[in-house]
Homo-oligomer: A and B are copies of this chain.
Amino acid sequence: MSLASPVKKGYVRPLDLKHGRVDMGHGAGGRAMAQLISELFAGAFANEHLERGDDAAVLPAPVPGERLVVATDAHVVSPLFFPGGDIGCLSVHGTINDLAVMGARPLYLAASFILEEGFPLAELARIVASMAQASREAGVPVVTGDTKVVEQGKGDGVFITTTGVGALPSGREIGGANARPGDAILVSGTLGDHGMAIMAQRESLAFDSEIASDTAALHGLIAAMLDAVPTIRVLRDPTRGGLATTLNEIATQSGVGMELDEAVIPVQPQVAAACELLGLDPLYVANEGKLIAICPADDADRLLAAMRAHPLGERAARIGTVTADPNAFVQIRTTFGGRRMVDWLSGEQLPRIC
């Protein structure tokens, strides 16, 4: 079922978007579903592909020589609304970023909704509007979709799976397996903002300055970075598990070690304070608008300058170096002059963060 299913007008009362709630009929494939789709989704995501009303979108392919890039992400963040964003824009940004960190130009999004019976239609409309706005701002349309409904107590409001399709220019090879000893490691800004925005909301913590999620689409920043430094070897967004886990993944994929310098890793003071309070380490806290970049050391200054020249990279920093280490250990020089291992996240530090 598409997100722009045709429905005969004049048969049914319009949806009550103020007081109405999702019911099981909205997922059953009949008129109620067609109505939900045409009144709530189709207008928000309006584009020629959706409007065809078929079960799949037919789309121009990448230009010859380009490869396809496909990424998918389920979003189950709780709460659904948080300072700086909501599940709607998050689900657009997260998937665009998964394409962009491969060096791909994001082309299309597909969106699949699992709704819980009883969920307020007004909140659903807010989420869909936020998703549509994020999609417009990023220039990446939602071209097809699906809606299912589960009984009350079998879901949690809204889950959204967003799948992205992008095009990768010929010759561009970016990936977690490409880091080499001697390379520089950079981050695009402060760490832990998204995760702590969620946790502060969940724990009802109040701080002097609010912690807002950094959720953002990074393809513009990445395009500027690749323009300046085409030799970038690795890009990745440190989401679940944070910087520490993502660097461990890359170290394992590339078969290299890493040495970080704690003193230069950017963390906002209120995020550091909240982490302290909750016993969390900001290096393990999720980000949704930040990236890690690894490039040859000689290009690092140029890359840093390109990042800082972009609004989403103003607080970029060079935080460490790739080393030769068959154990693929990630280590950090602490601000006290010591040295410790930065291991993978273990356990469930921050469930349902994205």
Contact = CB atoms under 8 A, between A and B. Distances in A.
A164 B27 CA distance: 21
Interface residues of A, number: 98
Residue from A70, A143, A177, A353 having most chain B Cβ neighbours under 10 A: A70
Contacts of A27: 76, 240, 348, 351-352
A23 B49 CA distance: 39
Contact of A348 (B28, B72, B153, B240): B28
A74 B352 contact: no
Contacts of A99: 56
Residue from A30, A62, A328 having most chain B Cβ neighbours under 10 A: A30
A105 interface: no
Contacts of A175: 52, 54, 58
Interface in A99-131: 99, 101-102, 104, 108, 110-114
Interface string A1-32: 10001111000000000000001110111111
A349 B26 CA distance: 11
A144 B71 contact: yes
A240 to B, nearest CB: 3
Given A55-B236, A67-B61, A34 B149 contact: no
A163 interface: yes
B30 A241 contact: yes
B348 A23 contact: yes
Nearest to A73: B146
A7 to B, nearest CB: 7
A67 B49 CA distance: 13
Contacts of A314: none
B71 A55 contact: yes
A257 interface: no
B29 A345 contact: yes
Contacts of A156: 150, 154-155
Given A154-B155, A241-B28, A67 B72 contact: no
Q: Which 9 A-B pairs have the closest CB atoms?
A: A29-B240, A30-B345, A29-B241, A56-B71, A161-B161, A163-B163, A72-B110, A24-B348, A154-B156
8 contacts: A27-B76, A28-B351, A30-B347, A52-B177, A54-B253, A61-B62, A61-B64, A72-B161
Given A28-B350, A74-B114, A159-B159, 15 more contacts: A6-B176, A24-B348, A28-B349, A28-B351, A29-B240, A29-B345, A30-B344, A53-B253, A54-B176, A55-B98, A56-B69, A60-B68, A72-B110, A74-B146, A76-B150
